[in-house]
Structure 1
Amino acid sequence: MRVFLDLWWYFKREKTSYIIGIIMLMIVSILSLLPPYIVGVVVDLMVENNLTVEGLTFWLIILFFVGLAAYIFRYLWRIMIFGASIRLARLLRNQLYEHFTNMSAKFYQRRKTGDLMAHATNDIRAVEQTAGAGVLTLVDSLTLGGFVIITMAVTISWELTLLSLLPLPLLAFLTNFYGSMLHKRFRVAQAAFSSLNDRVQESIAGIRVTKTFGQEKADIAAFQAESDDVVKKNLRVSRIDALFDPTITFIIGVSYFLAVYFGAGFVINEDITIGQLTSFTIYLGLLVWPMLAFGWLFNIVERGRASYGRISELLAEQAEITDEHADTTKPPSGRFDVEIHSFRYKSEDDPVLNDVRFQLKEGETLGVIGRTGSGKTTLMKLLMREEQGVNGKISLDYRSIERYTLDALRTSFGYVPQDQFLFSATIADNIAFAKPNATMQEVIDAAKLACVHEDIVQFQNGYETFVGERGVTLSGGQKQRIAIARALLVEPEILMFDDSLSAVDAKTEESILEALRMKRSERTTIISAHRLSAVKHADVILVLDQGKVVEQGTHESLMKKDGWYREVYNQQQLESIVAEGGDTGGTYG
């Protein structure tokens, strides 16, 4: 029953609803005692030949109003108790969602999407059951069971009551034993469901890749194996769950046997009447529900305890990047002073960046180039403070980046990642994602800057075209340019492209860069790329190799050196001319 203590904070918060609901439940329990009593009275009147039409009518009218009152109070307690449990589910769901949005990127590297979805669905549903049906079964089994036992003992025979309830200690022992086993197995089953949930999400997201490589059968086989594992683990839960009802039914049968066996002797000895024995057996029937509810209670509580434990563990995880040292909410402009002695991820032994130093004035453009794995994306993340733990200093506007609140930083940055994410919405909604109140003209202007307007108007529904989940109906280049338009729309102080022009052709790339130079002449732009033509106009170019700056300068100064930049630029220019069917005609450099 520890889960009720864990949820005590919520019971106190919704105390009015729970108190009213429990009072209604207790009234229903008291009303449930009247029909057996009335039946006993009527039976005794019949045995004594004293039953009249007027008397029978009186007792039937009493029964009618008892039933009507029970109907009303049952409706009220359901509204109060189940309503409170639904509000708890909403509260936990909102807490989880807010927690997800506040967590750092590393949190999502450790946690699988399907697992997080399972927490927000199955686990919350189990906790909701505990706060609703769990409270119901606890209160109802105690109040109705207690009232029935007291009534049987006081109004009929305490000796017969004691004899009939002799099997109850065995019931308490067995249900507690089953509950402990159920808790362990249900937690394992929920973990298996989380894993299956993640596989489904991953398979659907990657269905195009699966089909391209002809791996549908392998994917189906893997899913079936994981699904079988979920079934197997849930069957282990069901085997314990299935023990509750038969055990309770058997113990109730023993109680009935004892009641009839000893009750017959009490009637023969004239200790009780036939009507009282009839009432006693009906009261004993009323105990069936509390006993079943008691067994069901252990089932609900153990499921809820396992799920609430999983949710609590998740909510207890702290975001790694916080506003702990922040002292300003003013969004920064675009002057960078960077002096990174070294940086390494916690999961790695070797540094990812070493001795990276540069200055970037507001309104200038920084180009970051290098081979795959040279540290370009890591540098981008550090500049946006998506990672921390730098041995050195990163300053914005002469102030340490850690002194800005995260909201202030996010306001200043516009980011276009390598893997563009588009939502299941219209093209217009995707472009206006960070500025929902943008006018249609603003959306169109941003699309024109990103050189995607002409593509959009070719679609049947234009800007109202629904792109589908993750933008599956668009080409890679179209997705990239829509993501660029989304970043341009908010006119950020600092715009960052993380290899975000890789899917567009050279002509389109040049058009986008020219538009950026004209539109953002007074704002800072940072471009990471493999294609050197994307950064040749930059005021500062960093050439990274294995996390170190091996060359630094402008395009002109780097072309004068006999280094990696000049070699790769000439090679890419040659490849471009050959691809266009042109004549190399001379030497570059």
Structure 2
Amino acid sequence: MKVFMNLKWFFKQEKAEYLLGLLVLLGIALIQLVPPQIIGKTIDLIGTKKLTGHTLLIYMLILGGAAIMTYILRYTWRVLIFGTSNKLGKILRNRLYEKYTSMSPSFFQQRRTGDLMAHATNDINAVQGAAGPGILMISDSLITGTSILITMAITVNWKLTLIVMLPMPILVILTSYYGRLMSKGFKKAQAAFSRLNDKTQESIAGIKVTKTMGYEKSDQKDFKDISDDVVQKNLKVAQIDALFDPTIMLVIGASYFLAMVCGSFMIFHNTISLGQLITTTTYLGMLVWPLLALGFFFNIIQRGNASYERISEIMDTQNEIDTAYSVEGFPSGNITFNIESFRFPNAEQPALTDVRFTIEEGTTVGIVGRTSSGKSTLLRLLVREFDTKRPEDITYGDIPIRDYEIRHLRAMFGYVPQDNFLFSTTIKENIAFADPAMEEENIARAAQLSYIHNDILDFPKGYQTIVGERGVSLSGGQKQRVSIARAVIQNPPVLIFDDSLSAVDADTEEHILNNMQNERQGKTNIITAHRMSAVSHADLIVVMDEGTVVEQGTHEELMRNQGWYWQTYQSQQLRDELTRNLDDITQVEGDDSNAENK
């Protein structure tokens, strides 16, 4: 019953529908009491040879009216109770989705995608079942069962009623025990289903890697093992669930036995009539459903309890990003990093130390350094995927970024991350993701700026080409350029390239950067890269190593310093020159070979 207490806010919100639904169930229960009475009276009239055609016609009309009313009322309660429970599913899904979208990255690092999907599907369905079929089962069981027993006691014989009720306490004890076992079993079954979701999602997402490495058989075996575990745990739940029906039928059988033995004895002593005994046995037959409903109720309610606890655990998780704000409006001005130290949650070593520099509004800043030097970490802090300890560590317009409303802060940035995620829809819809109603001319313009327009036109369906799951049908460079177009089309005040040109060749990189320079004059641009050529034009270049700033200045200043930037730039230039020479030699040899063949 704990889940009902947790859902009292919803029952209070929808009390009118539920109260009306319960009244309809009460009406059905009362109408169902009529047929056994008619049957008993008819049998007694037949026994005394007093049944007339007129009386039989009246009884038949009463039974027909009861059937029609039962049909109408059963349709009505389904609309009221089941229909209202669907609202609960909608509310919980919306709340859960809002929770997911508001959480920081660490939340998703600690939880697997399949498990989060299971919360939004199976768990919510189980809770919705408690608010729909669960309410029906317990209400119908109590209303119908109670009304039948009261009617038996009043219209037949109260002593016989008490006798047939003697096995009932055994039923209550056993079903309660089964319910506790089911709760434990269902939690394990749901956890197993979450693992199966995880495995399915990961296997499909990584199918290219699996096939490339010839890992199909092992992957199939892993999936089979997890699937078998799901079956076994659900089988245990089903085994417990299977105990309800035999137990109920055993109790009902015992009540039938007592009714026949004691009822026959009472008929022999003229305490009740044969018609009343038949009425009693008919009512006992009608008690089968309320008792079965009680068993179903324990099944449904334990599933709902387990699932609501799993959902509550997610909803009660605190966001590591504080969304409170004190400054209205959108930020503007210079962006200043003044970070003493930052470490990721649960990390032992700091990711950043002593990072201090300023990005002036309207300038282009390049951030370079070795892999894992802290470049991407800086950008993730800027868009508040994580927060530093001190509010003054990062300011925007001399105001700490955490003082702004987070949606206003993030609206300032067009962010192209290292991991270019594309949705499984058309190229056009991926580029116009921020505004699906964007005009085609603007979409094409953004594609031209990111140097992907010609590639798109070469596809058979052009901008209507479906890119597949995570852009699987595109090359790495094409995915990067579509992601760049998606960010550029927003024309954000601050455009961030987080190593977003790594999969394109040097010529394409140069074209894109030239387009950005011409298109985004007067706007702020932040570029992290491994190729020094990508940032050589920047107004400020920041060199990072092991989470700290080791150099900063313009390209000319850093070249004069002859530090890490100078060494890396020289080696990359030499490598590019060698590559060009090799390409020229290969081209000349190819031309000579063609000439000889001719």
Is TM-score (shorter-chain normalized) higher than 0.5?
Answer: yes
**Structure 1 length-normalised TM:** 0.97
Equivalent residue number for residue 330 of structure 2: 331
SS at match of 1:122: helix
Equivalent residue number for residue 506 of structure 2: 506
Equivalent residue number for residue 385 of structure 1: 384
Equivalent residue number for residue 593 of structure 2: none
CA positional deviation for 1:383 = 1.5
After TM superposition, list the pairs within 5 Å mapping 1:182-197 onto structure 2: 182-197=182-197
Equivalent residue number for residue 440 of structure 2: 440
The answer on whether the counterparts of 1:415 and 1:495 sit within 8 Å (CA) in structure 2 is yes
Equivalent residue number for residue 176 of structure 1: 176
The answer on whether the counterparts of 2:123 and 2:311 sit within 8 Å (CA) in structure 1 is yes
Distance in 2 of aligned mates of 1:569 and 1:473: 34
Distance in 2 of aligned mates of 1:573 and 1:233: 61
Distance in 1 of aligned mates of 2:287 and 2:389: 67
CA positional deviation for 1:456 = 0.6
SS at match of 1:247: helix
- CA deviation digits over 1:206-257, x for unaligned, max 9? 1011111111111111111111111111111111111111111111111100
What amino acid does structure 1 have at the position aligned with 2:184?
K
Distance in 2 of aligned mates of 1:334 and 1:186: 55
Equivalent residue number for residue 244 of structure 1: 244
Equivalent residue number for residue 357 of structure 1: 356
The answer on whether the counterparts of 2:106 and 2:345 sit within 8 Å (CA) in structure 1 is no
Q: Structure 1 residues 138 and 282 mapped into 2: Cα distance closer, same or farther (>3 Å)?
A: same
What amino acid does structure 2 have at the position aligned with 1:290?
P
Distance in 2 of aligned mates of 1:548 and 1:362: 23
Report the more deviating stretch, 116-125 or 234-243: 234-243
CA positional deviation for 1:583 = 10
After TM superposition, list the pairs within 5 Å mapping 1:565-576 onto structure 2: 565-576=565-576
The answer on whether the counterparts of 1:187 and 1:306 sit within 8 Å (CA) in structure 2 is yes
Equivalent residue number for residue 148 of structure 2: 148
Report the more deviating stretch, 431-440 or 201-210: 431-440
After TM superposition, list the pairs within 5 Å mapping 1:188-267 onto structure 2: 188-267=188-267
Distance in 1 of aligned mates of 2:139 and 2:384: 52
Distance in 2 of aligned mates of 1:493 and 1:334: 10
Distance in 1 of aligned mates of 2:125 and 2:383: 37
What amino acid does structure 2 have at the position aligned with 1:558?
L
Equivalent residue number for residue 587 of structure 1: none
The answer on whether the counterparts of 2:447 and 2:453 sit within 8 Å (CA) in structure 1 is yes
- CA deviation digits over 1:423-472, x for unaligned, max 9? 11111110010122311111111000000000011111111111112111
Distance in 1 of aligned mates of 2:369 and 2:213: 31
Distance in 1 of aligned mates of 2:337 and 2:389: 11
Equivalent residue number for residue 365 of structure 2: 366
The answer on whether the counterparts of 1:127 and 1:304 sit within 8 Å (CA) in structure 2 is yes
Report the more deviating stretch, 385-394 or 368-377: 385-394
Distance in 1 of aligned mates of 2:225 and 2:14: 44
Distance in 1 of aligned mates of 2:284 and 2:158: 13
After TM superposition, list the pairs within 5 Å mapping 1:554-569 onto structure 2: 554-569=554-569
What amino acid does structure 2 have at the position aligned with 1:176?
S
CA positional deviation for 1:68 = 0.4
After TM superposition, list the pairs within 5 Å mapping 1:471-550 onto structure 2: 471-550=471-550
Equivalent residue number for residue 342 of structure 1: 341
Equivalent residue number for residue 39 of structure 2: 39
CA positional deviation for 1:511 = 0.5
CA positional deviation for 1:333 = 2.8
The answer on whether the counterparts of 1:334 and 1:523 sit within 8 Å (CA) in structure 2 is no
SS at match of 1:580: helix
Q: Structure 1 residues 253 and 396 mapped into 2: Cα distance closer, same or farther (>3 Å)?
A: same
CA positional deviation for 1:106 = 1.1
Distance in 1 of aligned mates of 2:234 and 2:301: 17
Question: Which structure 2 segments of 5+ residues have no match?
Answer: 585-598
Distance in 2 of aligned mates of 1:496 and 1:342: 23
What amino acid does structure 1 have at the position aligned with 2:173?
F
After TM superposition, list the pairs within 5 Å mapping 1:454-465 onto structure 2: 454-465=454-465
Equivalent residue number for residue 310 of structure 1: 310
Distance in 1 of aligned mates of 2:185 and 2:519: 61
Report the more deviating stretch, 18-27 or 376-385: 376-385
Distance in 2 of aligned mates of 1:254 and 1:339: 80
RMSD of aligned residue pairs (Cα, Å): 1.2
The alignment status of 1:165 with 2:165, answered yes or no, reads yes
Equivalent residue number for residue 29 of structure 1: 29
- CA deviation digits over 1:332-363, x for unaligned, max 9? 23511211111111211111111111111111
CA positional deviation for 1:562 = 2.4
SS at match of 2:120: helix
What amino acid does structure 2 have at the position aligned with 1:190?
Q
SS at match of 1:192: helix
The answer on whether the counterparts of 1:333 and 1:494 sit within 8 Å (CA) in structure 2 is no
The answer on whether the counterparts of 1:435 and 1:489 sit within 8 Å (CA) in structure 2 is no
Distance in 1 of aligned mates of 2:451 and 2:395: 33
Distance in 2 of aligned mates of 1:356 and 1:224: 50
Distance in 2 of aligned mates of 1:331 and 1:530: 32
The answer on whether the counterparts of 1:551 and 1:558 sit within 8 Å (CA) in structure 2 is yes
The answer on whether the counterparts of 2:82 and 2:132 sit within 8 Å (CA) in structure 1 is yes
The alignment status of 1:118 with 2:130, answered yes or no, reads no
What amino acid does structure 1 have at the position aligned with 2:397?
D
Equivalent residue number for residue 71 of structure 1: 71
Distance in 2 of aligned mates of 1:306 and 1:345: 32
What amino acid does structure 2 have at the position aligned with 1:342?
S
**Structure 2 length-normalised TM:** 0.96
CA positional deviation for 1:4 = 1.0
The answer on whether the counterparts of 1:334 and 1:524 sit within 8 Å (CA) in structure 2 is no
SS at match of 2:527: strand
SS at match of 2:227: helix
What amino acid does structure 1 have at the position aligned with 2:516?
L
Equivalent residue number for residue 20 of structure 2: 20
SS at match of 2:411: helix
The answer on whether the counterparts of 1:322 and 1:406 sit within 8 Å (CA) in structure 2 is no
Distance in 1 of aligned mates of 2:335 and 2:85: 51
Distance in 2 of aligned mates of 1:40 and 1:334: 90
Distance in 2 of aligned mates of 1:229 and 1:377: 40
SS at match of 1:287: helix
Distance in 1 of aligned mates of 2:382 and 2:69: 68
SS at match of 1:4: helix
- CA deviation digits over 1:49-73, x for unaligned, max 9? 1112221111111100010001101
Distance in 2 of aligned mates of 1:383 and 1:530: 20
The answer on whether the counterparts of 1:167 and 1:255 sit within 8 Å (CA) in structure 2 is yes
SS at match of 2:561: coil
- Count of residue pairs brought into register by the alignment: 583
Distance in 2 of aligned mates of 1:221 and 1:152: 60
- CA deviation digits over 1:74-114, x for unaligned, max 9? 11011000001111111111111111111111111111110
SS at match of 1:486: helix
Q: Structure 1 residues 201 and 334 mapped into 2: Cα distance closer, same or farther (>3 Å)?
A: farther
Question: Which structure 1 segments of 5+ residues have no match?
Answer: 585-589
